Structure 1
Amino acid sequence: MKFRQTPYVIIGSGIAGLYTAIKLSEKTDREILIITKSGLRESNSRYAQGGIVGILPENIEDSVELHVQDTLKAGSGLTDPDVARFISERSAVAVADLISYGVNFDKSPEKKVELTLEGAHSVRRILHAGGDATGRSIELALCSVVEKDPKILIYRQTQAVDLLIDSDNTCKGVIVLDKTTGEYETVYANSVIIATGGAGQVYARTTNPQIATGDGIALAYRAGATVQNMEFIQFHPTALDFEENGSRFLISESVRGEGAKLKTPDGESFTHKYDERGDLAPRDIVTRAIYFEMKRHGYEHVLLDTSTIPEEKLKARFPNIIKACEEHGIDIFKKPIPVSPAAHYIMGGIKTTVRGETSLKGLYAVGEAGCTSFHGANRLASNSLLECVVVASELAQLLSEQNEDVPSESSDCRINCLISKYEKNNFGYKPDIAPLVQQLRETMWGKAGIVKTEEELMEALKVVNELRLEFNQPYKCRNAEEYEFRSLLTTAELIIRSALMRKESRGGHYREDFPETSDVACDSYLSKQPEPCLC
């Protein structure tokens, strides 16, 4: 076991983590350590296609109030109006900031920033970059800034495995595993920021890459932090109906925003039967419309017809979608795209304020891993990139106002007891992880997915408990794959337990046995008591 002391640790290298590091570096002369379990340019953020919301002063059709109204309506009663307004008011500054870091948002022939429309937005307000590669464009620009900053240290191929929580329930650092060498390191820090993204890999069908295993949410919950609204999973209605490397290629909502139409394999439009807004209704409504049509008629997928969009516009706006479809033998200029729903985003997560503060002192969260009550029960398209940039900026300001001396090694009993668990090898039976992961993902998709019932949720929870008993590695694991499975088990349990508690249907959470929406909207919370120190 190695040891290190540093003022700030950021776990995760997507847009939320990178942006936090950059803003923090601008406000402090101290070292900032980024821990990423992959390379710097591989994250969930990279796959964000649609764009980022911007309430720009030159867009006279739009306003903060209009964006707040759209966000509240999509959030189905669980979006905090003050949070929505706080984030919306800062969107223009956030966009200008990203541009200053080298993000080149797409422009019209008149050199004006192009704005597109997405589902449940009342006006065009979505900025995009690289046509349909906004997440990748932002991430590459931020990576370039981070790599040139001498104050920012990067641990690549490094897995965070447990948070150091002392006897006063304060976070004091993190234990990490170097995946290349197999060596563990205890990193003492005054501030630990979780920016690990989502957990789409808990489902058999997802648009998320293989690294999206809910690590940060699981770490925080294990440490005693409160998690909120974990039952609210956003299933994107239109993922390409082919799987590659454990995920499905997203067909951005912007395609429908530009005029593409959803149809059955028989060529019939259908979404208007479920909502008067049709193809541009909120994502949960469009997803369930597709789900019920597929189930009712036995379709394997539905079709997205792009023939209504001019060819030149398709080429300019969606080059990556065209390429991905071509790789699967689909010429979207001649044939519609086969699509079906897939897990895409988690509205819940670690409960935080708009400054990233969790229920534990010294522990913070930004991006998809956190839950500020901005997205409510159903995220409005392209609000997520805006939230992570605004919250990251606020968090950096908060931390810069604190006295962050380099911490010393701890003599706390609880911390030392945890460290000792990672210094020993108490391995017995070695399970084959791959089939266990597949069983978990198939169970979650079939019994805790788009449509849920009490009976199926209880069956899913039974499977999770059985898999945990078979796995039997509550602390030290043999490798990164086992740690990711440990995270998936925790995340799955949190989703199921939260879904069981919510005996209603609201936003992204649909209970077939409780199809009505309650008059009173309440958040759900889960937390666990810390284990006593027995060392």
Structure 2
Amino acid sequence: MVVQDVLVIGSGIAGLSYALKIANQYPEAKIKIVTKGNEDETNTKYAQGGVAVVTDFIQDSFEKHIEDTLIAGDGSCKLAAVEVVVKEAPERIKEIVDWGVRFDKNPEGLYDLGREGGHTENRIVHHKDITGREIERAMLETIKKITNVEILTHHFVVDLITEHHLGLDLKDEVTCYGAYILDIESQTIIRQLSKVTLLATGGVGHVYKNTTNPIIATGDGIGLAIRAGASVSRMQFIQFHPTAFYSEFDGQLFLISEAVRGFGAKLRTKDGNLFMHKYDEREELASRDILARAIDNEMKLRGDDYVYIDCRHLDQEKFLEHFPNIYKKCKIEGYDMFTELVPVVPASHYLCGGIDADLDGKTSIENLFAVGECSNSGLHGANRLASNSLLEAMVFGHRSAVKSVQLLQKNEFKINNHQFPEWNAEGTQLQDELVLISYFRKQMQAMMSELVGIVRSNSRLIMAQKRIIEIEKMVKEIYDFSVISPKLLELRNLVNVAQLIIEQSIAQQENKGTFYNKDL
């Protein structure tokens, strides 16, 4: 029986920082990272704006960053989590710089600090408009130099291993003992036992038709946690990014960063009129929830499919210094940002809730940690402050690693007391066609977009609940009798996540942050 010390599910900034810390603090640990795609295909890679951190203690302060986070979270943040993240931020930034991350600097050699919606000071460190990609690059290069870390690409986690797989009737404590993992290339399912397991699987963007998230963001970690019986909460708080590049096609939309509005871009209706002054005194620098609802409302009032972002008045040389890739992408799509208005639309962007985790990343399941967007650390409350997410992953990746090392050194695991079964695929068969999986995925995404979107209502939520129960029943039937495939696993996770979003939206009886029900 091969037992891993640490199993990391996900290869973004949360999983990599956690693995790096354990490898450095406890070199004898055997660490395995699994990811269902390529090692760099993560939510981290697509994070454009940067990392919020106080570096200028003359103009800025921890207190200001804390206050901005609390205001954005609309009274729902966990204060202890906010304080931990903000105050530990400088040390975590120093570490990733030591790992090779290159943040932009000004002529004086200081960080070129940007500002985004909801921030009262310039405090965003960044690498052009591809900060996440730069962080992912540096961390992967660093981790590949460490001999006790193994990365398995194209491996999809099917389920977490718990006492449920021993046939025990559990009433109290549940423990995680690793996971069953599908090797996509060989089509075999591995029983990977592990003393400590981390979920760092990113977001749930593809629950909706349009999202800024990469195609891999299908709520896999949260689906795993739900089925294992972990506490998962605040799933009703979905942040929609106000300015994704408009496309007639569903799927991942290109993100026009928050920092572009921080740089001075304005929003206009299709007939060219400014409108944000009607909704918030901060106008384009209001928080994302306010902007997304304002754009949604203007589109509905006019029957339009999009609004415009206007960059024509901005300093072109400085704009290209900060946003070369955004400019290039818009040019490829047929829009010159210096001479034309660019169409944008809100799109599903970030989950503010998730798997409940304490200040050390521990979940309600023993020996199971959760970090990053799949977790509910309490940092974001009802609405995420821009550029706090990469920071959250670094801070709690560090804290979870410290706690995991303590557990490993105590070595009080019961894993060898049990005989967990190998995966049983008896009675399943290959599907002749995948059309049903695609059909139910599209059905669920359309339903969530139309009934559980930016603005919700009681009647729409009840309708969505009835429909998701029907879809879940049919997906379960397909799953029970089919040979497992990545598309089927993604659908299963998406449906589990959608159910919880709907249930917790119905239970939410107050409009806060990203959650807005017009009947409340």
TM-score (norm 2): 0.94
The match for 2:302 is: 297
> What SS does structure 1 have at the residue aligned with 2:380?
coil
Mapped partners of 1:18, 1:403: distance in 2 = 18
Question: Which residue of the partner structure matches residue 185 of structure 1?
Answer: 190
Please state if 1:226 is matched with 2:213. no
Query: How many angstroms does 1:487 deviate by?
Result: 0.3
1:440 matched to which residue of 2? Answer: 444
2:116, 2:461 → 1: CA distance?
32
How far off is 1:429 after superposition?
Answer: 7.5
Contact kept, 8 Å, 2:3 with 2:195, in 1: the verdict is no
Counterpart-to-counterpart distance in 2, 1:285 and 1:135: 25
Counterpart amino acid of 2:137?
L
The Cα of 1:59 is off from its aligned counterpart by 4.0
- 8 Å CA contact retained: 2:243, 2:347: yes
Mapped to 2, the partners of 1:144 and 1:135 lie a distance apart of: 14
Match of 2:426 in 1: 424
Alignment partner of 1:309 is 2:320 = no
Residue aligning to 1:137: 134
* 2:461 aligned residue: 457
Contact residue 6 and residue 407 of structure 1 kept, 8 A: no
1:328-367 matches, cutoff 5 A: 328-367=333-372
Partner secondary structure for residue 393 of structure 1: helix
Question: Matches of 2:12 and 2:176 in 1, distance apart?
Answer: 22
Q: Could you tell me which residue of structure 2 aligns to residue 4 of structure 1?
A: 2
Matched residue of 1:171: which SS? coil
Secondary structure of the residue aligned to 1:367 is coil
Amino acid at match of 2:133: R
**Stretch deviating more after TM superposition (452-461 or 363-372):** 452-461
Matched ranges for 1:471-510 at <5 A: 471=475, 472-473=477-478, 477-510=483-516
Q: Measure, in 1, the Cα distance between the counterparts of 2:478 and 2:394.
A: 36
Whether the 8 Å CA contact 2:425–2:483 is kept in 1: the answer is no
Cα separation, 1, equivalents of 2:144 and 2:218: 26
CA shift, 1:81, in A, is 1.4
Give the aligned partner of residue 112 of structure 1. Answer: 110
What's the secondary structure of 1:211's corresponding residue?
A: coil
Counterparts of 1:17 and 1:205, CA distance in 2: 26
Of 459, 468, 474 in structure 2, the residue corresponding to residue 470 of structure 1 is 474
- Deviations along 1:242-263, whole A, 9 cap, x unmatched? 2678200000010000100011
Partners of 1:308 and 1:104 lie apart in 2 by 29
Instruction: Tell me which residue corresponds to 1:265.
Output: 270
Q: 1:519 maps to which residue? A: none
Q: Which residue of 2 aligns with 1:96?
A: 94
Distance in 2, Cα, partners of 1:313 & 1:265: 27
Shift of 1:337: 1.3
Q: Is the 8 A contact 2:9 2:33 kept in 1?
A: yes
| More off after superposition, 479-488 vs 397-406 | 397-406
SS at match of 1:388: helix
| SS of residue paired to 2:137 | helix
| 1:269 match: secondary structure | coil
Asked if the contact 1:118/1:280 (under 8 Å) is kept, the reply is: yes
Q: Is the 8 A contact 1:55 1:125 kept in 2?
A: yes
Amino acid at match of 1:35: V
Equivalent pair of 2:279/2:294 in contact (CA under 8 Å): yes
Q: In 1, Cα distance between the equivalents of 2:357 and 2:414?
A: 27
Measure how far apart 1:458 and its partner are. Answer: 1.5
- 1:19 maps to a residue whose letter is S
What secondary structure, in the 3-state scheme, does the structure 2 residue paired with 1:342 have? strand
Structure 2 contact 289–514 (Cα < 8 Å) conserved:
yes
Instruction: Read off the aligned partner of 1:268 and give its amino acid letter.
Output: N
Q: Is the 8 A contact 1:7 1:406 kept in 2?
A: no
Cα shift at 1:474? 5.3
In structure 1, the residue matched to 2:213 is 208
SS in 2 for 1:174: strand
Taking the aligned partners of 1:217 and 1:86, their CA distance within structure 2 comes to 24
| In the alignment, structure 1 residue 387 sits paired with structure 2 residue 392 | yes
| CA-CA distance at 1:425 after TM superposition | 3.6
Q: Secondary structure at the match of 1:396?
A: helix
Counterpart of 1:172 (choices 167, 170, 177) is: 177
* Residue aligned with 1:116, SS: coil
Comparing 163-172 with 195-204, greater Cα deviation is found at 163-172
Q: 1:275 to 1:247 in 2, by over 3 A?
A: same
Which amino acid in structure 1 is aligned with residue 369 of structure 2? Answer: Y
What is the distance in 1 between the residues matched to 2:385 and 2:121? 13
Q: Which residue identity lines up with residue 264 of structure 1 in the other structure?
A: T
Deviations 1:445-472 (A, max 9, x none): 0000101111111211222121122222
Residue 128 (structure 1) aligns with:
126
Instruction: Please give the residue correspondences for 1:59-78 in structure 2 after superposition, counting only pairs within 5 Å.
Output: 59-78=57-76
State whether residues 431 and 483 of structure 2, in contact with CA within 8 Å, keep that contact through their aligned partners in structure 1.
no
Equivalent-residue separation in structure 2 for 1:482 and 1:96 (angstroms): 41
Once residues 360 and 110 of structure 2 are traced to their aligned partners in structure 1, the CA distance between those partners, rounded to angstroms, is: 32
Q: Residues 512-531 of structure 1 correspond to what in structure 2 (within 5 A)?
A: 512-514=518-520
Tell me how far apart the structure 1 counterparts of residues 484 and 327 of structure 2 sit (CA, whole Å).
41
Q: CA offset at residue 146 of structure 1? A: 1.2
Partner amino acid, structure 2, of 1:465: I
- d(CA) in 2 for partners of 1:401 and 1:199? 31
**Residue identity matched to 1:104:** R
Note the aligned Cα RMSD (angstroms): 1.7
Distance 2:317 2:207 in 1: 38
Residue 158 of structure 1 pairs with residue 155 of structure 2? yes
Q: Against the structure 1 CA distance between its residues 508 and 473, is the aligned structure 2 distance closer, same or farther, given a 3 Å change threshold? A: same
Contact between 1:4 and 1:186, CA under 8 Å: does it hold in 2? Answer: no
Structure 1 CA distance for aligned equivalents of residues 261 and 248 of structure 2 = 22
CA-CA distance at 1:427 after TM superposition:
4.3
Cα 1:408–1:358 change in 2 (3 A) is closer
Q: Is the 8 A contact 1:201 1:208 kept in 2?
A: yes
- Where structure 1 has 5 or more consecutive residues not aligned to the other structure, the ranges are 515-535
Alignment-mate amino acid for residue 511 of structure 1: N
Per the TM alignment, residue 308 of structure 1 is displaced from its structure 2 partner at its CA by 2.6
Could you tell me how far apart the structure 2 residues matched to 1:403 and 1:380 are? Answer: 34
Deviation at 1:440, TM superposition (A): 0.7
Q: Deviations over 1:369-402 (max 9, x none)?
A: 0011100000000001111100000111111122
| Match in the other structure for 1:522 | none
Q: Does residue 1:42 correspond to 2:41, yes or no? A: yes
Aligned length: 506
The Cα offsets for residues 156-193 of structure 1, whole Å up to 9 and x where unpaired, read as 10000100112551111100000001011001111110
State whether residues 479 and 488 of structure 2, in contact with CA within 8 Å, keep that contact through their aligned partners in structure 1: no
- Do the aligned partners of residues 315 and 244 (structure 1) sit closer, same or farther apart at CA in structure 2, a change above 3 Å counting? farther
2:32 match: secondary structure? strand
Write the distance in 2 (CA, Å) between the matches of 1:403 and 1:54: 31
- Once the two structures are TM-superposed, the CA of residue 428 in structure 1 deviates from its matched residue by 8.7
What is residue 16 of structure 2 aligned with on the other side? 18
